[in-house]
Amino acid sequence: MHFSYSRSSVNLAGELTGSFQRDRPRPKSPTPPTHSSPCTVRACAHCAKESGSAGGIGDFGRGSVSAGTIPRIYKYFYTTEVLIDRPRGSLQDSVGYKISSDVNVNLVWRNPANKDDQLIKIVMQNIKVESISERPEDKNIFSGTSASKILGENYMSSLQRPFLAQWSSGKVKSFFSYQDEPTVLLNLKRGFASLFQIQLNSGSVSEVDVSGNCKTTYQAQKNQVSKVKDLGSCKISKKGFSTYNKVMGISIKQTSSTIYILEDSIIKSVLAEESHVFMLNVYNALAAKIVSKQKLELKSTLPGPQETPGKLIGTVIKTVDPKYSVLPLVADQLKSNCKNCPTLAQHWKAVRKEFEPQNLSKASAARSFLSLIHSLRRAKKSDILNLLNSEKEDVLPQLVDAVTFAQTSESLKGMLEFLDFTNGSRPLLQERFLYACGLASHPNESMLKGLIAKHKGKIANPEIKETVVIIIGALIKKLCHSGSCNVPSVQEAKKLILEGLEKADNPAAIKTHILALKNAKLQEGIPMLLKYAESGEGPVSSLAVSALQKYDATFITEEVKKTMNRIYHQNYKIHEKTVRTAAADIILNNNPSYMEIKNLLLSIGHLPLEMNKYMLSVFQDILQFEMTASKLIRQVLKEIWVHNYDRFSKTGSSSAFSGYMTRGPNSSSTYSLDILYSGSGILRRSNMDIFVYSKNTELHAIQVVIEAQGLETLIAATADEGEEDLESYAGMSAILFDVQLRPVTFFQGYSDLMSKMFSATGDPINVVKGLVLLTDYSETIQLQSGLKANIEFQGGLAIDISGGMDFSLWYRESKTSVNNRGAMVITGNITIDSVFVNAGMETRFESESSFDFVTTVKFSSYPFLVCMQMDRGAFPLRQYITKYESLSNGKSYVSRKGKVQTVSGSQLPLHQENSNMCRKVVAEQSSSAESWF
What sign does the CA torsion over 123, 128, 129, 131 have? negative
Read off φ and ψ for residue 124, nearest 5 degrees: -100, 135
Amino acid 56: pLDDT: 43
Q: Count CB-CB contacts under 10 A for residue 431.
A: 21
Instruction: Check: CB of residue 109 under 8 Å from CB of residue 307.
Output: yes
Instruction: Check: CB of residue 212 under 8 Å from CB of residue 181.
Output: no
Burial class of residue 11 (count of CB atoms within 10 Å of its CB; 0-12, 13-18, 19+): exposed
Amino acid 161: pLDDT: 96
User: Cα torsion for 716, 717, 718, 719, to the nearest 10°?
Assistant: -110
Instruction: Check: CB of residue 383 under 8 Å from CB of residue 342.
Output: no
**CA-CA distance, 633 to 170, in Å (whole number)?**
65
Instruction: Check: CB of residue 730 under 8 Å from CB of residue 706.
Output: yes
Domain regions of the chain by residue span: 1-58
Q: Is 54 left (phi over 0), alpha (psi -120 to 50) or beta?
A: alpha
**CA-CA distance, 851 to 737, in Å (whole number)?**
16
Give the pairing of strands 744-748 and 729-736.
antiparallel
Q: Report the SS3 class of residue 236.
A: coil
pTM score, two decimals? Answer: 0.85
Amino acid 205: pLDDT: 95
Pick from 221, 286, 220: nearest CA to 249: 286
Instruction: Check: CB of residue 868 under 8 Å from CB of residue 914.
Output: yes
Longest dimension (CA), the chain: 124
Q: Where are the beta strands (DSSP E) in 590-682?
A: 655-663, 667-677
Cis upstream peptide for 427 (omega within 30°): no
Burial class of residue 153 (count of CB atoms within 10 Å of its CB; 0-12, 13-18, 19+): exposed
Amino acid 809: pLDDT: 65
Burial class of residue 407 (count of CB atoms within 10 Å of its CB; 0-12, 13-18, 19+): buried
Pick from 39, 121, 5, 37: nearest CA to 72: 121
Read off φ and ψ for residue 51, nearest 5 degrees: -80, -5
* CA angle, residues 67, 72, 78, in degrees to nearest 5: 160
Three-class SS of 59-121: CCCCCCCCCCCCCEEEEEEEEEEEEEECCCCCHHHCEEEEEEEEEEEEEEEECCCCCCEEEEE
Mean pLDDT of the chain: 86
Q: Is 436 left (phi over 0), alpha (psi -120 to 50) or beta?
A: alpha
Instruction: Check: CB of residue 771 under 8 Å from CB of residue 807.
Output: no
**CA-CA distance, 196 to 270, in Å (whole number)?**
9
Helices (H) and strands (E) in the chain — how many of each?
A: 25, 28
Amino acid 752: pLDDT: 67
178 to 121, 154, 208, 209, 564: CA distances (angstroms): 13, 14, 20, 18, 71
Q: Which residues contact 466 (CB under 8 A, 6 or more apart)?
A: 508, 512, 742
**CA-CA distance, 329 to 307, in Å (whole number)?**
24
The residue type found at 26 is R
How many residues are given for the chain?
Answer: 933
Q: Count CB-CB contacts under 10 A for residue 930.
A: 7
Instruction: Check: CB of residue 608 under 8 Å from CB of residue 618.
Output: no
β-partners of residue 102 are: 77, 125
**CA-CA distance, 461 to 896, in Å (whole number)?**
51
Instruction: Check: CB of residue 348 under 8 Å from CB of residue 372.
Output: yes
Amino acid 681: pLDDT: 73
Q: Count CB-CB contacts under 10 A for residue 594.
A: 11
Amino acid 325: pLDDT: 95
SS3 of the chain: helix, strand, coil, percent, to 5? 35, 35, 35
**CA-CA distance, 787 to 237, in Å (whole number)?**
15
Amino acid 11: pLDDT: 29
Q: Which positions of the chain have pLDDT values less than 70?
A: 1-69, 265, 712-717, 722, 724, 750, 752-765, 767, 805, 807, 809-811, 859, 861-863, 924-933
Q: Report the SS3 class of residue 615.
A: helix
**CA-CA distance, 193 to 177, in Å (whole number)?**
11
- Please report which helix (H) or strand (E) contains residue 217, including its range: strand 212-220
Amino acid 194: pLDDT: 96
